[in-house]
Structure 1
């Protein structure tokens, strides 16, 4: 039975004294998580843990409607084992530095530089996409190698989801390019997009329960 015109669905109804509906609350959580993630990522080597924690907080907010707070984000960051995750951060920074060095060498006018630059850009884009999918999956809390292997597998078997995350990355980059101050919160929309794609690709989603 559909809802009558002018009557909100139960999930959209506001509690007494509530100024905004749940959709606006999720939008506010997304911006808060974006800010928390940016601050936690400032040392660079903490970026994987910071993004994974942001994804976890947004996943919980979407499921339980609990407000994203600095305390909840801190707890999620600790749950991901910040000290253990620093290894992944160090590897990420090292690979990023090597990637930039290779791009600089490819742009130095050497023979085949154009082909090398295109190849490196493609490899870097795929690696970034897989890394974002890994951070959005609960497996990142237990083991980053396992999360990356699973993300690589899902990226291949779920091309539509990979395209969605690639579009999200491009949009986030365009937003930062057009309005640099939004770099402070752009991690929030990226985390929300990644979580949405991972929930969409979760096994059993959309199947009716057995009778």
Structure 2
């Protein structure tokens, strides 16, 4: 009786996954140079890592750019809204420092900014997994954030850890999107 082929799992397979994650991070960083295209790049990174996670072997480079072009159609307006919201929150945080009641308003704005970042990341993951329109994906991501606070907390920790890593070593901005994409895909668990 012939034995079934067993996939050998050793340190090299983990290294391949790690390299896919870093390559996806580099590609997302490259796609995010015009800042408003960052969500489309993030969607493409999530799709690429989801395929790699499920063993669908395709050239990461070519599939990433095909996914990026597809996601950019609706992702650029979403990216513009995210950039405007981030600028408004940053300005509000700066203004509230000099106001009376800054001890209350500052933390409230920081929590709202964290919730907004989680919803933005989860929106990109929803678009990557389901190919919904961006407006519907925002609603679905907001519902998932409220409905599964544990997963939302994991995404928030991943976003915060990414920010701390970039703050500590700014060159990591080139690869940090890869692990963040992987965290978004892992907490989405749609497939």
Tell me the TM-score normalized by structure 2. 0.89
Deviation at 1:153, TM superposition (A): 1.0
| Bigger relative contact order (CA 8 A; separation at least 6) | 2
In the comparison of the two structures, how many residue pairs are matched? 186
Higher helix proportion: 2
Q: What pairs with 1:98-117 in structure 2 (closer than 5 Å)?
A: 98-107=88-97, 109-117=98-106
RMSD between superposed Cα atoms in Å: 2.0
Distance 2:124 2:7 in 1: 29
Answer with 1 or 2: which has the greater Rg: 1
Alignment partner, residue 110 of structure 2: 121
Match of 2:7 among 2, 8, 11: 11
Distance 2:134 2:80 in 1: 13
Tell me the TM-score normalized by structure 1. 0.81
Q: What pairs with 1:25-174 in structure 2 (closer than 5 Å)?
A: 25-66=16-57, 69-80=60-71, 82-107=72-97, 109-137=98-126, 138=128, 141-174=131-164
Match of 2:178 among 170, 188, 206: 188
- Secondary structure of the residue aligned to 1:110 is coil
Q: What stretches of structure 1 of length at least 5 have no aligned partner?
A: 1-8, 15-19, 206-211
Q: What stretches of structure 2 of length at least 5 have no aligned partner?
A: none
